[in-house]
Chains A and B, each alone.
Chain A
Amino acid sequence: MALNIMQLATNFADKNPGITPGHRLCPGCAAPNVAKFALMTAQSLGYTPIVGLATGCLEVSTTIFPFTAWNVPYIHNAFENVAATVSGVETAYRALAKKGRLVDPEKKYAFFAFGGDGGTYDIGLQSLSGAVERGHKFIYIVYDNEGYMNTGNQRSGATPPGSQTTTQPVGKKLPGKVQLKKNIVEIMAGHENVYVATVSTSEPMDFFKKIEKALQFDGPSFIAAFSPCVRFWRISEDKAVDISKLAIETGYWPLYEVERGVYRITKKVKELKPVKEFIKAQGRFRNLLKRPDAEEIINEVQEYITRRWERLQILEEATKDKPIR
């Protein structure tokens, strides 16, 4: 059963999707939509979601004392261990089920862990890898806003090269961040017993379908969601969806999934737009564009994106119907 927007709207017309209004994320932020889409899909398919949150924008803005914007069972522990915490919750559930002490054994649960890119790419990678390796049945969703935006735009492993951050500003010597963005999807796909997918809020149908697949997958799932930060990407508040669309069209954020080593590109872009369009649309690259070596850096990024896109297509063909586990 593929969900559509009308169905979801009918289901949730007078019901809360799990995250309530009144949270204090910036106007136009994409992170609450990532959470909303995931929780709505789970509830529409008959699951009761349980949410764990890593420290990050979504956590600090939704749980400012004495308020909480969560209408579902919720747990926050620390920055680095959301995956470990949720795997513990899942194990406790299985233990209770084994002992026959569940109040309602028929009820289906979906275990969600949300983390920002700081809590996933850098700080929480160890506990995430451990939880996935142990094969807990949970869904880890990273909302990737490419930096430590909660504390005011510091560089993270997800920050693209040439981007302005407070810890690596664009100046006379350095063109902002010099390294390319870490490819977390490949790192997670390397665990092999896992369903990994990239999603974007600008493709809601694809989003729902992938969450549905993750819910039905027997094992851990990892979903990377593109989530523009209106404040520190220096874009207008109403442009989060436009930027996400541009990221897909330029190949900066390819939409694909890896299920036990089998690659599948879910959004085939016929001809990629030049990545320069994506870079020019955002204020965080404005200082980079002023530098004399801007073209070189953009070309380097363009070359990487083209190569990654070609590689994905080759992998899709090579791994077709050949699951590794």
Chain B
Amino acid sequence: MAELKNWKELPIGGVIDKPATAKEYQTGTWRVIRPIYQAENCIHCMFCWLYCPDQAVEIEVVDGKPKMKGFNYYYCKGCGLCANVCPKTNDKLPEEKRAIVMKPETEFQE
């Protein structure tokens, strides 16, 4: 999380002098359900990447083709849109066959 600045450190007039500073802001703390990526079931269709409103889906290009890498939990707000648009994820499939599984965040707390 970004440190708050005092009035002496801020630019005059409160101008934001750099683009894309929102990247410093952690929206991942909002999350109540967490998407878990199961790579063995993924067909790399890029739907989750396309629809993620927070660009929390990380991809890489391998041999000229985009491949899903996983989720960036620093930004993921846990809306579940990725699991909803995923063609390899639906309620009828058992959990181990899905590409994205939504789990409550409480399971990951110590």
Query: Which A residues fall within an 8 A CB radius of B?
Result: 5-6, 8-10, 13-14, 16-17, 20-25, 27-33, 36, 62-63, 65-72, 74, 201, 204, 230, 236-242
The docked-state distance in angstroms from the alpha carbon of A71 to that of B31 is 25
The docked-state distance in angstroms from the alpha carbon of A70 to that of B16 is 11
Contact of A20 with B80 in the complex, beta carbons under 8 Å: no
In the complex, the number of residue pairs spanning A and B with C-beta atoms less than 8 Å apart equals 119
Within 8 Å by CB of B53, from A5, A6, A9, A29, lies A29
Give the residue among A22, A25, A62, A68 with the most B Cβ atoms within 10 A.
A22
- Chain B residues 50-95 with CB under 8 Å of chain A are 50-51, 53-56, 59-61, 64-66, 72, 75, 77-81, 83-85
Q: Chain A's interface: helix, strand, loop or mixed, by majority?
A: loop
Query: Which B residues fall within an 8 A CB radius of A?
Result: 2, 5, 10, 14, 16, 19-27, 30-31, 45-47, 49-51, 53-56, 59-61, 64-66, 72, 75, 77-81, 83-85
Which chain A residues lie closer than 8 Å to B65 at the CB level? 6, 10
Contact of B23 with A201 in the complex, beta carbons under 8 Å: no
Within 8 Å by CB of A65, from B16, B50, B66, B75, lies B16
Contact of B47 with A9 in the complex, beta carbons under 8 Å: no
* Min CB gap A22→B, angstroms: 4
The docked-state distance in angstroms from the alpha carbon of A299 to that of B27 is 43
* Min CB gap A33→B, angstroms: 6
14 examples of A-B residue contacts, CB within 8 angstroms: A5-B45, A22-B22, A23-B22, A27-B79, A28-B53, A33-B53, A66-B5, A67-B16, A67-B21, A68-B21, A237-B80, A238-B79, A238-B81, A238-B84
* Min CB gap A143→B, angstroms: 12
> Which residue of chain A is the closest to B78 with respect to CB atoms?
A27
Contact of B61 with A10 in the complex, beta carbons under 8 Å: yes
Which chain B residues lie closer than 8 Å to A237 at the CB level? 79-81
Contact of A21 with B75 in the complex, beta carbons under 8 Å: yes
Question: Which 5 residue pairs across A and B have the least CB separation, nearest first?
Answer: A28-B79, A238-B80, A22-B22, A27-B79, A9-B66
> Which residue of chain A is the closest to B102 with respect to CB atoms?
A238
* Min CB gap B21→A, angstroms: 5
For the complex with contacts A10-B64, A22-B25, A68-B19, 8 further pairs of A-B residues with Cβ separation under 8 Å are A5-B46, A17-B55, A20-B22, A27-B31, A27-B79, A67-B2, A67-B24, A238-B81
Contact of A24 with B25 in the complex, beta carbons under 8 Å: yes
The docked-state distance in angstroms from the alpha carbon of A35 to that of B49 is 15
Within 8 Å by CB of A9, from B21, B23, B26, B46, lies B46
Contact of A242 with B61 in the complex, beta carbons under 8 Å: no
* Min CB gap A36→B, angstroms: 8
> Which residue of chain B is the closest to A17 with respect to CB atoms?
B55
* Min CB gap B25→A, angstroms: 4
Given A8-B50, A10-B65, A238-B84, answer yes or no on A70-B19 (Cβ-Cβ < 8 Å).
yes
The docked-state distance in angstroms from the alpha carbon of A180 to that of B78 is 35
> Which residue of chain A is the closest to B14 with respect to CB atoms?
A65
Contact of A241 with B20 in the complex, beta carbons under 8 Å: no
Contact of A240 with B23 in the complex, beta carbons under 8 Å: no
